[in-house]
Amino acid sequence: MTATVTTESPPRRPAAPRAKRRMSRQTRVGLLFVLPCFLLFLVFRFGPAIAGVVLSLFDYTIDGQLNWKGLDNFVRLFDDPTFWSALRVTAIYTVISVPVTLAVSVGMALLVRRGFRGSKLFRSIFFLPVVTSLVLAAVVFKWVFSADGPWASFVHLLGFPQESWLTNSFLVLPALAIVSVWARFGYDMLIILARLQDLPREQEEAALVDGAGPWKRFRYIILPHLKPALFFVVVIETTASFQVFDLVYVMTGGGPVRSSYTLVYQLYDQGFQYFDRGYASAIGVVLFVLTLVIALVQRWVIGRKG
């Protein structure tokens, strides 16, 4: 009889730890590439935000002296009638600007969603105001809405008085909202258009076969599909409306009679005109809290799943 000798091969290392080490190494490399951007964001975003919260608790003037005031700046703010007037103006401007921007963005996205001759050209034209300097656009629209501008002449042809909308306390906010819609709808249109292109055409075709009209197809098929994009657009537009400053600064300067005097304009006045930096920081903190609360409400109303 011959004895067979079996040699056992050395046990192999499991592949899972090696894969985990490889993924861990890839993660470290990715974080290393992200680190410079994160540091810039930390220094120029989180740093000023934290400094603003701290300064709101102090009396910080132009000479650089810090005097502890606690919540006195916030008590003074809530007792200030100018703050409540600026908050009312900001809220009215937001109520006018955001729904119109949303409606125009959805309408334009539906208009150019289908591929037709010149559709790409129209998309580029609609997006052009987004990359245009807003200060330059504000200078041009300041002339457009003047008493001798084309807008006043057009309105006069319709039977209304020929006057500057920027000097009318009732019309100044709609005029600013028109410029804001013109400047921002192109970006929102692309967000909504990207979401529309993910909608299966079979759903619309099936609804069309069942006899559903355009409004029913939009309400029951397109609108539910657009819900995530609409939530994003509403949040960023609301935040931008609460932070409006450049249009007001260039076109109206907060007038007439503070009819366009917004919260950010009050922050600018207190911080850079009167050099009351602590009070200006308190306005910034309150503005942040307001936008955060409104975003959470919008998340609950629009962003939640049906």
Spatial CA neighbour of 251 closest among 180, 302, 182, 195: 180
Convert the pLDDT of each residue in 95-111 to its tens digit: 999 999 999 999 999 88
Q: Is the pLDDT of residue 1 over 80?
A: no
Convert the pLDDT of each residue in 253-290 to its tens digit: 998 989 999 999 999 999 888 888 899 999 999 999 99
Cβ atoms of 52 and 281 within 8 Å: the answer is: yes
Distance CA 262, CA 73 (A): 19
Q: Read off the pLDDT band of 306 (50, 70, 90).
A: very low
85, 166, 172, 263 from 259: Cα distances, Å:
9, 10, 7, 12
β-pair partners for 60 = 66
Set out the domains of the chain in order of their start, with CATH numbers: 21-68 (no CATH), 80-303 (1.10.3720.10)
